[in-house]
Structure 1
Amino acid sequence: MQARFLRMLFSIESSATYFTSVSKWAFSSRMRSRNEYCWTPRIKREDGCLRLVMGLGTRAVDRGEGSDFCRFVPLGAPTLRPQADSRDIAKYCQRGVDVIDLESGKFTCVTLDKILEQGEPIPHLSKLVQVLQSGHLRDGFGEFLTLSPGEQPKITLEGIVKSDEFIGTMRWVLSSLESAFQCPVDVEFAFDGRKLHILQCRPQAIGGEEGPVTLPGEVSKDSTVLEVHSGLMRSVRIEGIKYAVYVSPSAYDELPSKEERVRVARLVGEINNRLPKRSFALIGPGRWGSNDVKLGVPVTYADILNTCLLVEVGHEKSGRLPELSYGTHFFQDLVESRIAYVPVFPGKSGSLLNEQLLEGRPNEAARILGGLSQYEGLEKVVRVIDLEAALGKAATLYIDSEHANKGILCSV
């Protein structure tokens, strides 16, 4: 019996549109010579990366309705993930599968459950899917999957990522094409189970689609919001940053209870919803999104999704620097939403945070929200700074992680 859906085993981000007549499972992909998201020193930028999804590659380009995620794979450490445990992995795994409906001839999105309901054997199913059971992910099935009560199938693509042969082949292909082009490359390919088909190969734009980032010349301290020389992920330039939403580390530390710190998170979320999208930087102490309120503000992704820049501030406490998350609490969200991330350690060599500007300028939070009656007592904790008024014009973020390893948020 012909399967209803045109079967695509898994794909990686693809901006090209292509058609295939295969009726068996196949692979397609996008990979890049330079990995812009190195969240740990174990990941090397020059090793490259993949973006994996089950189904057509369109889902890796457009997250679809709501939030969806691809499997991001650093080729030098393919099994390394920013998620801490199985529950986090399940939370940030792919939900919808883009396919072509062979009955209607139309492009559509279906759930994994819908695909499994067809009751047909799915080659390599165990490489694509794991089962979440009692907080743990398990393998151990073939081309069919029968679920017990309480079990949930999750698209993790773990079996693909653990294949030394597949990862080795991808690294060899990437290296060979980079040598031929004499520059970092951006590759789209398809794999039908036997042959690798290169669909497109082009020079990789470093620093975003606009190309390399040129850092500004000498910038005065008064015109600088922050400057860092380490811990940077991807090169990027973002203009038009009109506000800085700042959670004062000292004022946050002085809050007497967990409930008060949760109120801070809710206030940040209110401001996030009110300010224009991608018009503000979000700067705060420790780990954004931490479940431990002593380590950072316990926001959810919904509380920060409109920012263009997430900054974690590491102030020295009791003679030691706190360990920041380096974006791992929201890593998949930051990748998909193209939110920049910067860690800054005030007082440490190579780090500058203009606390005089952030603490000394008028707080615009009450004006933006129409009052702070619900958040009485937090006026000194959460501050909204009008950067246009403070600097004379909106700020620009420059990050060059490829060459200078420097990031600066300033007005020039």
Structure 2
Amino acid sequence: MDFKLGPEHESLRTAIRGFVEERVIPLEGDSANYDEHENIRLDVLETLRQEVRTAGLWAPQMPVNRGGQGLSMIGMAACYEEMGRSIFGPICFNAAAPDDGNMILLQKIAREDQQKRWLQPIIDGEVRSAFAMTEPMPGAGSDPTLMKTTAVRDGKRWIVKGRKWFITGAGVAQHFILIAKTSDDPRKGLTAFLFDRDEPGWEIVRRIPIMGPEEHGGHCELLFDGLEIPDDNRLMGIGDGLKVTQIRLGTARLTHCMRWLGMARRAMEIATTYVEKRESFGQRLADRESIQNLLGSAAMQIEIGRLLTMKAAWKLDQGDFARKEVSMAKIQVADALHQAVDTAIQLCGARGYSKDTPLEWMYRYARQARLVDGASEVHRMVLSRFLMQEGTDFWGWQ
């Protein structure tokens, strides 16, 4: 087992780390660089994105012939972690959700003409995108088979009716991937489609208020009332919607973990810098055993998350779906992120709770980690199923 990065991956990781450290992190301390939803202001973002392109660090997850860096999943794990050290980091490199997951999906399954029309503008940073699957109760959430939004075929087009909500980025997205019910078949009843924001027959009902901070475009509720989608804009075959969802979410869950690990590490960096200097009752905080226990525990949980994430990335690179490994990483990293940020706030005291550091921003953001792309309870259920099916092979080395 070799955990050393290859020279190309290490070189890119180092370059990304340097850019984040020198150009991105310093912007976090000035409130003027934030928009009204507590994300990086768009004009500031565009300046950074131009610098990223000039530095040759743009879209590392995409193939070189499409303007990216051609990274493997292992390379992405190392580089996304470095981007995630800044709360503004991933979006600067065009590696933030939901565009990241949508680009990876379209690169894998879309036809060449579809990639030119729907994928390339996202890679180039000309448009944003969204993935419309989740619905209000009793519709689809963690269980896609509960889908209520329907697409009914009418000749060479599909007519869509239904409602979606908590669709990340929908407020600014131009290109949408939609999952809709096309039959009652429990395994082949869903189909995936592509549609453009400017098409009639749908609307954004509201931008749903959340704890925040928010991604650009927020989390929106959508109403479909006769949206017409040409059959040519169907992704994969009729009835392949569940497969499309599994392909997208497996990788997207892991890239979340990669970015969250960077955020968790950054929280620890802020905490350790503080406790190394802060004295109380004649002793540095860093010299107190209780403080050491908190730091050591959080650091260990982060490292466990890194190993699980890297193993899942390796399996994906081998062509495996890595469902078991991705679920383990998702549970572990979500918990590790929350523990790291909570520990950092506790150790920094009032300063950590204030806006003098990004810790309170991270704390609110971290709470969603145990919910998005499958709640932790659902992933534990997945692991239980694998355990029952595989028995002692659950822990195999191959």
Q: Fold conserved (TM > 0.5)?
A: no
In the superposition, the TM-score normalised over structure 1's length comes to: 0.24
Instruction: Write 1 or 2 for the structure with the bigger share of strand.
Output: 1
* Max Rg structure: 1
Instruction: Write 1 or 2 for the structure with the bigger share of helix.
Output: 2
In the superposition, the TM-score normalised over structure 2's length comes to: 0.24
